[in-house]
A = this chain, B = another copy of it.
Amino acid sequence: MAKRIPADSVGIVSPELFHFDEPLELRSGRVIEQYDLMVETYGELNADKSNAILVCHALSGDHHAAGYHNPDDEKEKPGWWDCCIGPGKAFDTNHFFIVSLNNLGGCAGSTGPSSVDPATGKPFGPDFPIITVRDWVKSQARLADRLGIHKWAAVIGGSLGGMQVMRWAISYPDRLGHAIIIAAAPKLSAQNIAFNEIARQSITNDPDFHAGRYYDFNTYPKRGLMLARMIGHVTYLSDNAMRDKFGKDAIEGNFGRDLRSGKLNFSYDVDFQVESYLKYKGETFSHSFDANSYLLITKTLDYFDPAVDYNFDLSKAFVDSQCKFLVISFTSDWRFPPERSREIVNTLLKAEKQVSYLEVEADQGHDAFLMPIPRYIQALKSYLGCVIEEISGKEGKPDAG
């Protein structure tokens, strides 16, 4: 029996691999001679190719943003932004052609550290170059060329995805109509970098890491990757979100301290549900993500700082940008708090850009950007509804509403 697919889903989707032969010169000065990008698209590109939206993924995301891959797997979860992408949804596939790719350096089909280096016949491993957000956007622009899309109706992303959106507006100021930057920051804080460095050390400390050449040993640093993900996960959730998640059956003021077996063990076994949940999350992640990609992408995050080329005045970076901006933050996000989004807004205002800003009251922490929070989804839908009207040639002025 085939599984039931919701009516507002994009349904069963198939990724497509795009090969690029033209060498890509990177920010580091190194060159990737050739590479593949794994891509999914949802909806139909219109005749004048004006209805395309690029979705940029965050640290642990990939090209599979919506729909399902397996017609028979009833337990399969849809793509990571399925709550936003589909017919009638905020990124309405009845109107838009949505493009989502696994970024270079990733591990879901695009060329990355786990890919075979044609020069050696072995995986790149630690020899894979450090990729920056600018490099990603450069590769995404080539993908746009390949698809015949000169100008995106919108480029959209959350967290590290939002950083790619900013870079699009800077590097290709005339190639996007709208820049939607969600739960992001103009650059990482020292605390952000610190958590990334701790995650990296968790991985490199693991004896199964083998200096990044674990592929040759037919193993991978599972425990290190679990730990890295656990650290990340705690920083994506708010204190309140964790409390709600692990204190549902509990009396008031339990603070998410639900005991796993109803009593304390007085041993080093797992006592609290939050501990087993984190282990579970870490373990699941460790099966599907490449450790070298995790190291790489945390460096991509650390390195993001487009102001360096503009004498540390970020507003100058946006001077040429012709798009309109929507910036969204979430009140309980302590990884990239609203304060950081307001920095982006103030920078854009200083550059005299047209910018809308929405701060969403939400308890879910940084992860909120992935969730179907009504006010958030409604704002995206309303804003993109105006973009549809623009494309159709009708009157329409996007606003966060």
Residues of A within 8 A of B (CB): 27-30, 126, 129-130, 186-191, 193-195, 197-198, 200-202, 204-207, 223-224, 226-227, 230-231, 234, 237, 239, 242-243, 245-247, 251, 253-257, 264, 266-268, 270-272, 274-275, 278-279, 295, 299, 302-303, 305, 312, 334, 343
**Is the beta-carbon distance between A198 and B230 smaller than 8 angstroms?**
yes
Least Cβ–Cβ distance between A174 and chain B, in angstroms: 28
Q: Which of A195, A226, A237, A275 has the most CB of B within 10 A?
A: A275
Contacting pair B243 A274 (CB below 8 A): no
Main secondary structure of the interface of A (DSSP, over half): helix
Residue from B207, B237, B312 in contact with A253 in the complex, judged by beta carbons closer than 8 Å:
B312
Residues of B with C-beta under 8 A to A198: 227, 230-231, 234, 278
Q: How far is the CA of A242 from the CA of B195 in the complex (A)?
A: 12
**Minimal Cβ-Cβ distance residue in B for A296:** B268
Q: Which residue of B lies closest to A231 (CB)?
A: B198
A268, B299: Cβ atoms closer than 8 Å: yes
Chain B residues near A237 (CB-CB < 8 A):
191
Contact A343 to B253, CB < 8 A, known contacts A197-B278, A267-B130, A274-B193: yes
In the complex, what's the smallest C-beta–C-beta distance from A267 to chain B, in angstroms?
7
- Enumerate chain B residues within 8 angstroms of A275, measured Cβ to Cβ: 193-194, 197
Q: Are A256 and B334 in contact (CB under 8 A)?
A: no
Inter-subunit contact B197/A274 (CB<8 Å): yes
Name the CB-closest residue of B to A271.
B302
- Minimal Cβ-Cβ distance residue in B for A126: B268
Distance in angstroms from A125 CB to nearest chain B CB is 12
CB of A393, distance to nearest CB on chain B (Å): 41
Q: Which of B200, B253, B255 is close to A268, meaning CB atoms less than 8 Å apart?
A: B200
Q: Assuming A194-B278, A200-B268, A227-B205, is B28 touching A305 (CB within 8 A)?
A: no
B305, A194: Cβ atoms under 8 Å?
no
| A136 smallest CB distance to B (angstroms) | 15
Nearest CB of B to A314, in Å: 8
